[in-house]
Structure 1
């Protein structure tokens, strides 16, 4: 009897020669799994069980051993009596490899190995990989049966998939540390020398699913960088090395698409027509290549899935200038001799606070601890309900500098003679504060303010400071030009001056019963 790997390779070569990509057939968003042991089948087993399911039309993703089905001790499914259907055949699988760390004298399973790898810096990654030896035992064989070959079993309950989103994709890119750029062209690719992924603009893709699929394929290549999984990416287009790297990246991205609930379409096959015949040729020449490619694809899958998880951001003296957005505030952080210098800006890019967190060389502080450190009542950060995300360091300083320039430009002097009064504050009791200048503040009730507003243009009875901040913020955001803001800003005073001769007596009378404080 032919071994399962030989059957699978033969079928794959046959499919490739006919212009099909076989590892894109029959996928479910739920991995083949054993719900009794909690095992999810990965790598070659995953492709093999997916292939068998496609061949036999299985829709159920559950698989069990004979002993689990027979349940002689009545402990696996005591409320259900299962029985294998007559003529059912077991499907052969191999147990997953493990990794032995000789220095730690410790074994890691596949997921533990890549989770550990993802938490290390570049130097530590290389050391850890060198310390670990893969343990792969092809004699460790199991035979399992699909749930559709079992009478008496309850229908499969759907397992909710954690779908791909733009936030999740950004998390993967950020955690991997790979550079990403959209360019107005028609190709997607990964440049190893710059550690950079390039795609056409998102809006050029037929839909978001295809955009995600393309990015996952290029990010699969990026996992081969020396700072990550350290594969040989030196092959040129048309070479066997190039074909093998495309093979492992395509199978890896197929795993990822299933895990993230993405579907294939004909455009994905069309994008890989240049490789399909080459893959068939490579597999014919060396049948072990598919096994190795699948092992690498599983590593890619585990690595990227781990990168899709939010990781706690750590800040240290060794990092480059960085920035955070915390709710409506902006924080810039740069390393100094004694630790981390930070500056906090409000939503309009005015400086609120700043200082230093002392750190020694090699010491770090989590983003959460940093936020707790800078928290004050004035900043009003609710530590039970705040959102923090990386921001653009240079962009914050550019906007803060522009705001300083605008502050100087739009400074105004008010005095009693000009009658340039403006409402600066509305108190909790409903009173309104009318300011002339720093030394002259008048307080009016709602009724008094209403009377006053009949004699002073409504455009002037407003909180000008807030009004000006909005206008300046619009300049920063590019919503309004400075010339437009200049015109808007001038209108309240010009309206006052225009009406001052006719309204002066009534204004004076109104001010007489306003209460100065």
Structure 2
């Protein structure tokens, strides 16, 4: 089990390192040539988005194979929907991370009167793009039409406003300040195209989720160069995932960190898995802010 986990982490990390060494960020570059609609990969049967490292794995496959949809199924799911995976098609390996308590540890903890320690495991499973299947219901084979142009601005605005984040406008730099818990952004006119201002805001909101009152991810990244680079990688991924979910084409925000990211990934093949996992949690937090605030408003009435 441990060997299987290490093998998958090594394979994915080496693939991403190769992309970064070519000056490409695999969470951004795919959309230059992708045929599929911008968005997160989803399970065609359940409608749920894949998360964490699986997003990067499946995005890469969509681009490599020229798939026109970001919908995926297991072999058995395709059969249950009345379809089938075509003979000879190669699936894509994704993973599921969880923890379990071995029986011996559970028994020992009970005797010693303590909480049992859990062990992490990574389970592989294979999925197929709907383009690799026949006989599926027609509505599962194509992605929904994504919003375009100016339609994206109010969508991004509503998401950002729902967070309740403190946003200050002015100056020439964009950043998140943990001590005062606020986001600083230059005026919108400085960005030319309005949606670019929101792309930057979504990146800073990725940092904002790490505050101790939210996901408690920011130990103190500003005191350590490597920790700072890890946090930037997390925010970059969060911004990319969030942009894609909203229908906004992700763009490069911090290419100057590629060298630092390469150093981190070469030292630890789990780093990209952790960053992608943190990024997905950040996206979930941001997207759930609207519903959480609505519930709070209803409770206060």
TM-score range, shorter chain: 0.7 to 0.9
Tell me: CA distance 1:85–1:171, structure 2 relative to 1, closer, same or farther (3 Å): closer
The 8 Å contact of residues 252 and 301 in structure 1, kept in 2 or not, is answered as yes
The 8 Å contact of residues 168 and 308 in structure 1, kept in 2 or not, is answered as no
* Partner of residue 66, structure 1: 75
* Partner of residue 22, structure 2: 18
* Partner of residue 134, structure 2: 151
TM-score (normalizing by structure 1):
0.48
Distance 2:49 2:119 in 1: 19
The 8 Å contact of residues 9 and 269 in structure 2, kept in 1 or not, is answered as no
Gaps of 5+ in 1: 100-132, 316-363, 370-517
Distance 1:303 1:4 in 2: 27
Q: CA shift at 1:205, angstroms?
A: 0.8
* Partner of residue 286, structure 2: 304
Tell me: CA distance 1:190–1:231, structure 2 relative to 1, closer, same or farther (3 Å): same
RMSD, aligned CA: 3.2
Determine if the alignment matches structure 1 residue 244 to structure 2 residue 230.
Answer: yes
Question: Residues 119-143 of structure 1: CA distance to partner in whole angstroms, max 9, x if unpaired?
Answer: xxxxxxxxxxxxxx998531x3321
* Partner of residue 345, structure 1: none
* Partner of residue 113, structure 2: none
The 8 Å contact of residues 25 and 51 in structure 1, kept in 2 or not, is answered as no
Q: CA shift at 1:307, angstroms?
A: 1.7
Q: Please show how residues 106-185 of structure 1 align to structure 2 within 5 Å.
A: 137-138=121-122, 140-153=123-136, 154=138, 156-159=141-144, 164-166=152-154, 169=157, 172-173=160-161, 175=163, 177-183=164-170, 185=171
The 8 Å contact of residues 25 and 54 in structure 1, kept in 2 or not, is answered as no
The 8 Å contact of residues 85 and 150 in structure 1, kept in 2 or not, is answered as yes
Tell me: CA distance 1:310–1:292, structure 2 relative to 1, closer, same or farther (3 Å): closer
The 8 Å contact of residues 64 and 147 in structure 1, kept in 2 or not, is answered as yes
Distance 1:136 1:31 in 2: 26
* Partner of residue 47, structure 2: 38
Structure with greater helix percent = 2
The structure, 1 or 2, with the larger RCO (C-alpha pairs under 8 Å, 6+ apart) is: 2
Question: Residues 15-65 of structure 1: CA distance to partner in whole angstroms, max 9, x if unpaired?
Answer: 212221111133543432222233321111122111111122212222122
Tell me which structure has the larger Cα radius of gyration: 1
Tell me: CA distance 1:166–1:238, structure 2 relative to 1, closer, same or farther (3 Å): farther
Distance 1:237 1:274 in 2: 19
Q: Please show how residues 244-323 of structure 1 align to structure 2 within 5 Å.
A: 244-264=230-250, 268-269=251-252, 271-309=253-291, 311-312=293-294, 314=296
* Partner of residue 57, structure 2: 48
**What is the SS of the residue equivalent to 1:287?**
coil
**What is the SS of the residue equivalent to 1:26?**
helix
* Partner of residue 89, structure 1: 90
Q: CA shift at 1:214, angstroms?
A: 0.2
Q: Please show how residues 365-384 of structure 1 align to structure 2 within 5 Å.
A: 366=300, 369=301
